[in-house]
Amino acid sequence: MPATLNGGATEHANGNGTHATENDIPTKNFSGKKIPNLPTRTKESKDPRAPLTLPPGFTADKYEEFITAAQQIVEEKNVTVITDAAQLIHEHYTDPSKAHDMHNVVEKTYFVASAVLSPRDVKDVQEIMRLCNEFEMPVWPFSIGRNTGYGGAAPRVPGSVALDLGKNMNRILEVNVEGAFALVEPGVTFFDLHEYLVKNNLRDQLWVDVPDVGGGSIIGNAVERGVGYTPYGDHWMMHCGMEVVLPSGELIRTGMGALPDPSRPHADGLRPDQVPGNRAWQLFNYGFGPYNDGIFSQSNLGIVTKMGIWLMPNPGGYQAYLITLPRDEDLHTALEIIRPLRLQMVLQNVPTLRHILLDAAVSGNKKSYSDKDEPLNDEELDAIAKKLKLGRWNFYGAVYGPEPVRNVLWSVIKDAFMKIPGAKCILPEETQDHPVLQTRSGTLQGIPSLDELAWVNWMPNGAHLFFSPIAKITGDDGMLQYSMTKRRCKEAGIDFIGTFTIGMREMHHIVCIVFDRYNKEKRDRAHWLIRTLIQDAAENGWGEYRTHLALMDQIADTYSFNDNAQRKLNETIKNALDPKGILAPGKNGVWPSNYDRDAWRIPARTLIDRLM
């Protein structure tokens, strides 16, 4: 039976004849049309083994048959069926859920996996894919599953089986000093690779670029096009060579990995995934012929089982700095200063221009500054900035290289910024007053930390969504995007907390929408806010680089050039590589032909309509 969605909720009865409990699931789409494909809930089932949410088209009996077969592939201990909402208790970054979104913006039990399977090796991944094809089971792979603000480990289609690649497949396969790269499996985190470099006394030769918080996987972050802050901050740009299991279960290696290398010693009889890769696999990205890697990024076309990542040679010297800018409107001047410096690589790394509240939230929750529930006003922001000895905007960067190189670069950067009245330069060695500068000083040299988790606690029971549009690095674009976002935040009753992360020619404007995850009204406000911002941004020609599960379709719709020609291409490739539509259906708005895209849209909630 195909995993089609043409039945009503009541038609997705499980083996015991029970049906979806609809009160905690969005039931109407934007146009008020009833969603025809609510997942089946089996809460009332007498069968304790039945999952909380069955995948579409499954009965409890068919599901059990699948699970029995899956247990034979990966062993029983590597299969956990989510039979009860009480299992969804893992809510913290340091103890992440593998089955639901810890930062849920719709009800926690909506985006939920029916079971978590943890393959032991590549062969298991291949066999699971073959089994999923046989049963037409939707499967959602992840490496670690933290992915905070973008949906965590949760699947787009409720009831999918989650594939926890990181649990057992977590080896650092190679760190190559001469070539300055690593080859890793999905479970290798930024912390793991950094600690490996430290333990093996390699930090004086190589650094790993790390994102704000270091507990995520290198593979997950790179394939989702996450960023860090050294000169190697664009992780997708710095990946080199992949090994991928296709939806059919077939194994491929991309780039130079497709070329066998008789010079690398190995025993006969190894499985293809065990054969050492070509010695240029992690050195040259493109290989020969069409460049395949792009279709495995933010995609549902393959499961990445190995990936190369370039490491940064220790630059031989390093200096982090902070430049504080006193006024809100200094954002404009700062961006005009930043653009040419970044293009010329005087700014060598991915620097960030952070709003005062982002830094304030790292140092304390909202209550520690104000008793107000509504967004803080300009005077209050100024008072916080004064208290923390920061500006309304705070620019964090670093210079890299031997001292004479650093001195020249720093003097150019400093002179440029000092044209802004009231701007101040601060070095981490000169003060202990700036905790964020101390953290950034580590992050900007590839030392991972968890310090930046703190800003999520701005609100009680803090959870967050990221709204992350791309913009030109210009004062006008920055100010327009900032004022638009700030205005909408105010309407939603949410403080603007954001940062501009400066890429090579564009900036990611990362807006951290923090809400109380246990307060439905606040959650709905956050949901309204991000939906409205996506729409506002599209009306200005801005699109987001990445998003949460609930927003994927909305954003995919905005990339609509020539009657959504790009989506049609993506769907054509999807249907060709995954004819049964089993791998992460709906990810990034790409639905296989056996799913009805419109029916699967996540609807606006009632309060959203009221707010509008």
Near ligand ADP by CB under 6 A: residue from 15, 138, 141, 287: 141
Asked if residue 165 binds ligand ADP (CB under 6 A), the reply is yes
Give the span between the Cα atoms of 538 and 540, in whole angstroms.
5
What six digits make up the tokens of 169? 């497949």
Give the span between the Cα atoms of 328 and 166, in whole angstroms.
43
Q: Give the β-pairing of 139-142 and 161-164.
A: parallel
Give the span between the Cα atoms of 427 and 418, in whole angstroms.
15
Choose between 16 and 236: whose C-beta lies nearer to ligand ADP: 236
Give me the least distance between CB of 583 and ligand ADP, in Å please: 9
- CA nearest neighbour of 217 among 278, 156, 152: 152
Near ligand ADP by CB under 6 A: residue from 149, 158, 216, 277: 216
Is residue 545 within 8 Å of 507, Cβ to Cβ? no
Give me the least distance between CB of 143 and ligand ADP, in Å please: 3
Choose between 223 and 227: whose C-beta lies nearer to ligand ADP: 223
Asked if residue 153 binds ligand ADP (CB under 6 A), the reply is yes
Asked if residue 328 binds ligand ADP (CB under 6 A), the reply is no
What six digits make up the tokens of 540? 């200005």
Please report the sign of the dihedral spanned by the C-alpha atoms of residue 45, residue 47, residue 52, residue 58: negative
Asked if residue 550 binds ligand ADP (CB under 6 A), the reply is no
Give me the least distance between CB of 212 and ligand ADP, in Å please: 11
Reported as half-sphere exposure (CB side, CA atoms, 13 A), residue 210 has a value of 29
Q: Provide DSSP, 73-102.
A: HH-GGGEEE---GGG----BTTB--SSB-T
Q: Residue 45 has what DSSP assignment? A: -
The reply to whether 400 belongs to the active site is: no
Give me the least distance between CB of 304 and ligand ADP, in Å please: 4
Asked if residue 254 binds ligand ADP (CB under 6 A), the reply is no
Give the span between the Cα atoms of 603 and 195, in whole angstroms.
43
- CA nearest neighbour of 583 among 57, 166, 138, 111: 138
What six digits make up the tokens of 336? 């005009």
Asked if residue 126 binds ligand ADP (CB under 6 A), the reply is no
Q: Which range of residues in 28-36, 135-143, 285-293, 372-380 is near ligand ADP by CB under 6 A?
A: 135-143
The reply to whether 546 belongs to the active site is: yes
Catalytically annotated residue among 63, 110, 150, 400:
150
Residues β-bridged to residue 313: 206
Q: What is the rounded end-to-end Cα distance, in angstroms, of the chain?
A: 41
How many residues bind ligand ADP (CB under 6 A)? The answer is 20
Catalytically annotated residue among 546, 567, 597, 605:
546
Asked if residue 145 binds ligand ADP (CB under 6 A), the reply is yes
Give me the least distance between CB of 308 and ligand ADP, in Å please: 14
Tell me how many degrees the CA angle 455-456-461 measures, rounded to the nearest 5: 140
Match 């951290």 to its residue by tokens.
Answer: 512
What is the SS3 string spanning 506-537? EEEEEEEEEEECCCHHHHHHHHHHHHHHHHHH
Asked if residue 156 binds ligand ADP (CB under 6 A), the reply is no
Choose between 40 and 588: whose C-beta lies nearer to ligand ADP: 588
Asked if residue 144 binds ligand ADP (CB under 6 A), the reply is yes
Which parts of 168-207 interact with ligand ADP (CB under 6 A)?
Answer: 186
Catalytically annotated residue among 63, 545, 567, 597:
545
Match 């300055």 to its residue by tokens.
Answer: 180
Near ligand ADP by CB under 6 A: residue from 37, 45, 221, 314: 221
Asked if residue 143 binds ligand ADP (CB under 6 A), the reply is yes
Choose between 114 and 221: whose C-beta lies nearer to ligand ADP: 221
Phi, psi for 105 (deg, rounded to 5)? -105, -20
Which parts of 271-310 interact with ligand ADP (CB under 6 A)?
Answer: 303-304
- CA nearest neighbour of 392 among 335, 339, 324: 324
The reply to whether 146 belongs to the active site is: no
Q: Which range of residues in 218-226, 269-277, 435-443, 454-462 is near ligand ADP by CB under 6 A?
A: 218-226
Q: Which range of residues in 171-179, 214-222, 380-388, 392-400 is near ligand ADP by CB under 6 A?
A: 214-222
Give me the least distance between CB of 8 and ligand ADP, in Å please: 29
Asked if residue 448 binds ligand ADP (CB under 6 A), the reply is no
Which parts of 571-600 interact with ligand ADP (CB under 6 A)?
Answer: 587
Give me the least distance between CB of 325 and ligand ADP, in Å please: 31
Neighbouring C-beta atoms of residue 7, cutoff 10 Å: 15
Q: Which amino acid, one-letter code, is at 191?
A: F
What six digits make up the tokens of 501? 């992360």
Give the span between the Cα atoms of 353 and 498, in whole angstroms.
9
Q: Which residues bind ligand ADP (CB under 6 A)?
A: 141-147, 153, 165, 186, 216-217, 219-221, 223-224, 303-304, 587
Which residues are designated catalytic?
A: 150, 545-546
